Amino acid sequence: MNEKQIEELEDLAAVDLQGEILIPEPEDSAALEYFKQCTPARIGVWRSGPRPLTRTLLRFRADHATAQDSVFKEVSEEFLAKFDLVKVQTLVKNKDQYLTRPDLGRMLSEEDLAKICKECQGSPQVQIIIADGLSSRAIEANLEDILPALKQGLSAYNLQVGTDIFVKYGRVAVMDVIGMALEAEVIVLLVGERPGLGTSDSMSAYMIYKPNKETLMADHSVVSNIHKGGTPPAEAGAHLATVLKKIYDAKASGVKLTLQ
């Protein structure tokens, strides 16, 4: 097969499963179409005897490959260059280590901590951090829409925003380390979620009020499923600004905020 023939092959991962009906002569076509529009799950995929259709199996493998690509790909430097970011890296050296040593993804070197303290504004009311997490695609697919909407919302609430930071190979808890170093009041981390077979570009936003060494995961508030098939990134940015304002006013986040 030559390159031209390869280019002409259908990209199964790009096919809209919700609009594809594979069951021949369904009993209730309208009901099936309705259910398929309600979920991206693989329903009504039909079979050949006890086995899935070749098309169904290939789509499953294509989605699995896309999910793997999201985990192992790096966020491109060209994409990051579009934003004014202070870039640092956790103690993780590569993707393999990121997956096997999550503890290192929560820590920064003394040099990078010093860089943050030198190049970033101290004691901001809101500190925005971006981390690749488990999906580089989530960052590249959503950041251009969510970041301006988030900043616009925070500006409307008269909340002062610090210097944006990008953390390579970052885990959620790295936001607490940065928050303590900068003495930020509220921190929000935009991070790539672990990809699934239906969604490989989903982002989460973790938020916390004044983290310290005693901080627990329960102290974080979170908004997940941010992508074009879930909460659209621009809409999510506006919503996050509202949540951050609530956290700032209540001086609490996570379970503590819920209990107020």
Residue ranges of the binding site: 172, 193
- State the Cα–Cα distance between residues 103 and 88, nearest whole angstrom: 17
Distances in Å between the Cα of 157 and the Cα atoms of 107, 149, 154, 223, 254 are 32, 13, 5, 19, 21
- Residue ranges of the binding site for adenosylcob(III)alamin: 172, 193
Q: 136: which residues sit within 8 A by CB, 6+ positions away?
A: 70, 73, 74, 75, 192
Distances in Å between the Cα of 137 and the Cα atoms of 59, 76, 154 are 19, 10, 25
What is the CA angle 234-238-244, rounded to 5? 135
- State the Cα–Cα distance between residues 226 and 235, nearest whole angstrom: 9
Nearest to 259 by CA among 224, 210, 218: 218
Nearest to 165 by CA among 152, 177, 153, 154: 177
